[in-house]
Each structure stands twice: as structure tokens, then as C-alpha cells.
Amino acid sequence: MRLSLLHLLVSTVFLMALSAYDIQGQALDHGLVPRGHLRLQAHPIYTTWDRRFSRASNGSERIEELGDDLSSPNGANLFPNLEILQSSLRELMQAPNYEPSLGPTAGRVQQEMNSIKFAAEVGVSDWLTVGVLMPWNQTRTVIDLIHTPDTLNADLGLNPTIQDPSAVQSFLSSINSASTDAQARAAEICAGGANASCASALELASRASAFESAISSAYSATAFFPLAGSNTGGQLTQILAELNTALSTASLSSILPIVLAQTTLSNSDFAMMAVTPESGIGAVTPVQSRRGLWGPGDVEVSAKLRLADNMTYAEAEDDSGIAYRVTGRFGIRLPTGTPEHPDVLLDIGTGDGQLDLETGLAAELRVNGRFGIAASGSLVSQRPTTIVRRVERPSQAMPASRTRAEVRWDPGRLVGIQIAPYLRISSALSIHGEYRYFQKFRDKVEIIASNTSLNPFILESESGIKLHEVGGGLRYDTVEPWIQGEAPNPMEVHLRFLHAIEGSGSHAPKWTRVEAGIRLFRRLWGQTN
């Protein structure tokens, strides 16, 4: 008999290894509520991380700081629209290798999640427990951003369209007038036929038109522009002077002096770029620390079924024997939380915003009343939904507003296992170790909007996650002594510590988690023990 039970338990654990577990884990929370009783839970969790698991360019796994997304030797690669400015300046200066610079930037980012899980479960029968769980969550993002203006090498400052728009408009109007006059003059000269004068006039008209197009694009590209006194600013001044000389030689009106940036970027200016319209980012908050309000997470409704159990009954307790328990779990996770906001940079969110369906198993084996191992697993199917996302790689902390799109998001399923060996110090107190494996499969993303150049593969390619966690804790549980008549009131208290030691995927946090919890029981109907 015991041999067959062992076979059953081994098979169960093996099947769980092929399925999955909820990221919070269930190995130490497998017991059913006694029939006719209500179990109330308050379960606070603190999670923090400032690093993540990722992959290097050669495909090897590595650990990187979250702040790396806000760090740059010249700051230029942090702002997506700078490539437009760079292209325009390369055209103006005939410098194909030109690289703009704002000055070095160093960022440090730490993210936190505070959660209290409130739950109520009812023992409907000896074999069935139903319950509901509501997380109450608060997120916090700590951002330390240090931008150092480089007075020697930085060549970009605040765009004068922000500080002196009328001067820029007057300058652009003078270019337009000069270009229009040059084209009119070329048409007049060339009316008599092609000759050297006609070719010269056409060349000047083309030159003025190209300058107008490139400089207009540079002014409108982003919140930055070449600094007065910088090498780049000097080259633009020289190019304009040469063009004005040619216009003057042709007896055409000259262009006003170019309006260059006068102010380098300060630390506060850098943080405000996210909400500055000219930056093209379109965020609703600056790049700074923020603490969210407490709000609901994704509510879970579940049912637990007893499949095999001799651990619950007093007559089965035998310190010299083997005790076992196997339970099944079915659950629905509702989209009651708030997903990450596409216009709040580095947002976490309090929920996923879509429906989840979960099924799983939990098993426990105890030998001689003291030594045991608990294991659990679950498979979570995440249902598709429609959300607004920024279609950009995760490492781009400040994606352009043009990447904002409505997408059909089909998140990958969740799979994993949890194993917890333990030692019972007494009938109520136990100490345990813990190992968790979590995997999220790759998402499928479809951009709903037509006529877009956005590529959904950017969101799909780095959406898979693998995570390994280890930890341990203490558990005080008087439910079994209460069932056996050895304790006056049933109660469960636990303290747990977990740390991510290995993982992959750009969204896989290297986090540390501290959990605590208390569960109290109240009789609703039936006989007391």
C-alpha cells in the first residue's frame, strides 16, 4: 500500500515539473480549510530589484543594472529623435561620421513592489475549498540621474525654439526668402537658355534650398541644437557665412545670423526632457523618483480539491510512518489591476490587465513526522487582450511618442515548479528551504493600427523569461494539532525570504523578496473539534 502511494507521489511531482507555478508559489500553501470553517489571510510582501538578467550581444547571459538604460557617455543615444538631428547635421556639414554629444549621463534605478494579499477561503466540504484573493499593491521607482554638461566636448544644448522661438522663426523666414529669391533669379537667368550663368544660378538656388531643408529639419527634430561656441556650432556658422557670400555676390538678400543653443543641459533639464514636447517622447511624468498610490491588483478566484490525503486525520498520524497529501487547484485571475502606463516611463503596474486561467497540483510527503518535502506546480494560460504599448526594445528607457500604438497582446503561458524541504522542530513549528523555477513563454503581438512602420517583433523578441529563486523561512501552524485536539485554536504564521540567483530575458528581475503572513480560522457551521 505504502509503495503504491510513493509511486503516486513521485508521479505527481514529476507531472508538476512539466507544468508550472504561479510566481508567488503554492508549495507551502496546499492544505484545505476544514469543512464549515472560514480562513482569513493577510499576507504582506516586499519585493525590490535594481538589476535584471539579460543577454550580451554575443548571446551569453549577463546581469545588468536597471540604471544602464539611463546611462551614456554622451547622452545622445538616450533620446530617440536625435538620429533625425544627427542626419540633418551630417548633411549640412558633409560629415558622415558626426556624432552629437550632450555630455555624460549616469543613472541608477531601483524598483519596489509592496503588496498585501487579503484572502478568504471557505471549507465547503472535506474535499473542497473555495476562496478569493485580492492583492492590494503599491509600486515605487527610485531614479538617481546625474547629467554632467561637458563644456569641452558636448556640442548640443537646449533648442532655441524653446527659449527664443521668435528669433528662430525670423531666421527661418530669412532663409525661405533667400531660397525663394535664388530660385526666381535662376528661372529668370535660365529663361534665355542654358549657359554658364544659368548653371551657376541653379547651383546657388539648389544650395540655398538644401540648406533650408536641412536646417529646418534640425530645428524641428528634437529639444536639442548645436551650442554656440562648440565646434559644430562654428561649422554651421561658417557654412552660413559662405552661403551668404554667394548670395551677396549674386546681388540677393542675405540670411540672418544662425540662432544657436546658448544653454547646456542641466540635471533638471535632462529629467524634464521626457515631458518637453520638443523632445518627441510625450511622457506625462519627468524622469524622477515616484511612489504610486495603493490600489488593487488582479483578483483571484480559486478552488482546491483533495486528491489524496492521510495527513489531515488524527488516526493516520504515526511518527514512525509516512504521511502524504495531494491537492489540485483551479483558479481564475481577473484583470482588476492596473497595467503599466505607456506614457509613464519605467512604470511597473499593479496588474497585467488581462484574464488568466490557472490549474495546478501540490503534494507533500512526510517521513517519521519530522522530515518532509512539499512541492507544487501550476500552468497559467494568459488570455489575449488589447492594450496600448510603446513598440520599442525594453532597454530604451525613453521611447519616442511615435512608437505608441494599440496592440493585440497575447502573452505567453507561465510554467514552473516549487520545491520546499522542511524540518518540523515541533508539532507546530517548522523550518524550510525553498527553490522556485519560473518560466514565461514568448508573447505574440499584433499592431492593430494600419499604415504603421512599427515592428511588433521588437516586443516579442525579448518577452520570454526564465527565473531561478532560492530561499527559506519559518512556519508556525497549529491546524494539525488543532485537528488532533492538541491546540485550542487553528492558526498559520509564516516568514519567508527569496532571492533570484539566475535567469534570462530582458524583463527578468534579479529581485529579493521578503514575505510574511498570518491566517486565522473561524467556524461558520458544523461541529467544533
Q: Is the pLDDT of residue 216 over 50?
A: yes
Q: Which pLDDT tens digit goes with each residue over 143-187?
A: 998 888 776 778 999 999 998 999 999 999 999 999 999 999 999
Q: Is the pLDDT of residue 315 over 50?
A: no
Quick one: which H or E segment has residue 213? helix 196-221
Q: Is the pLDDT of residue 268 over 50?
A: yes
What radius of gyration do the chain's Cα atoms show?
A: 33
Q: Is the pLDDT of residue 25 over 70?
A: no
pLDDT at 17: 33
**How does the average pLDDT of the chain come out, rounded?**
87
- pTM of the predicted model as reported, rounded to 2 decimal places: 0.84
Confidence tier at 31 by pLDDT (50, 70, 90): confident
- What domains appear along the chain, each with residue ranges and CATH number? 2-149+277-523 (2.40.160.40), 156-263 (no CATH)
Confidence tier at 487 by pLDDT (50, 70, 90): low
What is the Cα–Cα distance from 55 to 350, expressed in whole angstroms? 27
Q: Is the pLDDT of residue 9 over 60?
A: no
- Three cell numbers, residue 413: 503561458
Question: Which of 112-116, 207-211, 267-271, 416-420 is the least confident region?
Answer: 267-271
Cβ atoms of 258 and 222 closer than 8 Å: no
What is the Cα–Cα distance from 23 to 29, expressed in whole angstroms? 13
Q: Is the pLDDT of residue 482 over 80?
A: no
**Among 208, 207, 217, which Cα is nearest to 161's?**
217
* Top-confidence residue, 149 or 528: 149
